[in-house]
Amino acid sequence: MKATELIPKLELIDPYKRFGKVIRVVGLMIESKGPEASVGDLCYIHVGGLQKRKVKAEVVGFRDENVILMPFTSVQEISPGSLVEATDEPLQVKVGADLIGNVIDSLGNPLDESTLPKGLTAVPTEQSPPNPMKRPPISEEIEVGVRVIDSMLTVGKGQRVGIFAGSGVGKSTLLGMIARNTEADINVIALIGERGREVREFIERDLGPEGLKKSIVVVATSDQPALMRIKGAYTATAIAEYFRDKGHNVMFMMDSVTRVAMAQREVGLAVGEPPTTKGYTPSVFSILPRLLERTGTNQLGTITAFYTVLVDGDDLNEPISDTVRGILDGHFVLDRNLANKGQFPAINVLKSVSRVMNNIVNEDHRRSAEQLRNLLAKYVESEDLINIGAYKRGSSKEIDEAISYHPQIISFLKQQVHENVSKSEAVESLIQLMKKG
């Protein structure tokens, strides 16, 4: 680079370091006098006696002329007068092809305490969603390797889908199946607010070596501070964006967006926001669209995203479920009643929808899926009468047809956890099943 090109860049460098002092710590919140910083900036708090170390914290707001910070780790050892150093930049994480196959934390550090590969690129965790006029329409199907999804709820490259379920209905198992079987180039998986025990179980049992070798897993467990859980979601999204901008088709999975919302509620309450709907603060409903809109298509590649949503008491109309459902391009509902009957994956086809399916599948596929849905709906509508023996065969031609098809339909919708079904096989099976009538 020529000296004439370097001079303007050197003029932009600020030669000064700015410091402030901690004056108060209340719960999750650290208040300091200075330094000069903006909301979202990363700061270092200098702590410790002889063994000095720096605690990373983020500026989350201001009170009068004081700076409000939230730490990425615990607040132990922080005392009145601790130095606060400004960095004048937001949190960045390092990412690159060599990161594939690794499990990292919200700050991009390997969880197994190894060193990061060399040659990675630093990217900011918070970025703007793509310009809507520069998003190509979703026009191509993507294979996820789950029969019921590929046939009845076909997903397009760049589609964003919510998986709505209560606890223990098979969300993690379904995500593992998708990660192992998908045709996407790379998986980015965010485990937010998980129990520590479940992390290795998911990686070793649900994902397996086959899934891990083309995945990057970002983990923020439930015992970590709220800010780490929020940053886990942002870090994973930034990693997916990096690979999309390299022209890849990325499969992005976040389990769960509800825990991100809960972490944001903690932060919001700590900085003095008023609790609104069911105790959630206004910032929760402003960060959700900003986060979820970052995935999808752009001019270079695609991010096909699956977000799990925990529904309290299986109530699909609670505030977070309702908000997320309105933002995404489809929702799959995992039904506890189906799980109790041994139907896995327990996706309730009648309550689930893929908003782009009709635009990307051929006419035979669409007609067969509609026919199966109608037969299933007719059976469910009359199920109580059938079970108690009140329905007499011959009373309705439609119900008779639904009853005769039902065992085959349920068999078609079931899939073993390690059973690999290609999309072409799934669609062909659906069309053949409906032709038998």
Question: What is the span of the domain harbouring residue 388?
Answer: 364-436
The verdict on pTM exceeding 0.95 is no
| Series of mean pLDDT values for 10-residue runs along the chain (437 residues) | 61 72 87 89 84 86 89 83 90 93 93 88 93 93 95 96 89 91 94 88 89 94 91 96 96 94 91 86 94 95 96 76 93 92 93 94 95 94 80 82 92 92 94 82
What number of CA atoms fall less than 13 Å from residue 10's CA on the CB side? Answer: 7
Domain with residue 131: its CATH number is 3.40.50.12240
Rg (C-alpha) for the chain, rounded Å, is 25
Q: Are residues 236 and 384 in the same domain?
A: no
Q: pLDDT at position 13, please? A: 61
Q: What is the DSSP string of 44-66?
A: EEEE-SSS-EEEEEEEEEEETTE
Is the same domain home to 203 and 272?
yes
The Cα 256–Cα 308 span in angstroms is 5
Of 343, 358, 373, the residue at which a domain comes to its end is: 358
Please report the pLDDT score of residue 145 as a whole number: 93
**252 and 284 belong to one structural domain:** yes
Give the span between the Cα atoms of 224 and 322, in whole angstroms. Answer: 27
CATH number at residue 21: 2.40.30.20
Same-domain pairing of 288 and 417: no
Answer yes or no: do 351 and 372 share one domain. Answer: no
pLDDT value of residue 21:
93
Whether residues 333 and 371 fall in one domain:
no
Which two three-digit tokens encode residue 374? 């109608």
Type of residue at 363? E
Beta strands in 92-247 (DSSP E): 92-95, 103-104, 121-124, 160-165, 186-194, 215-221
pLDDT at 12: 60
CATH assignment of the domain containing 411: 1.20.1270.330
Out of 37, 58, 90, a domain closes at: 90
Q: Is residue 103 part of a domain?
A: no
Same domain, 250 and 352: yes
Distance separating alpha carbons of residues 102 and 117, to the nearest angstrom: 10
Residue 100 inside a domain? The answer is no
Q: What is the DSSP string of 365-412?
A: HHHHHHHHHHHHHHHHHHHHHHHTT-PPTTS-HHHHHHHHHHHHHHHH
Same domain, 152 and 126: yes
**Is 345 in the same domain as 420?**
no
Q: Which of 358, 387, 414 is the last residue of a domain?
A: 358
Judge if 411 and 330 occupy the same domain.
no
340 and 244 inside one domain: yes
Count of domains forming the chain: 3
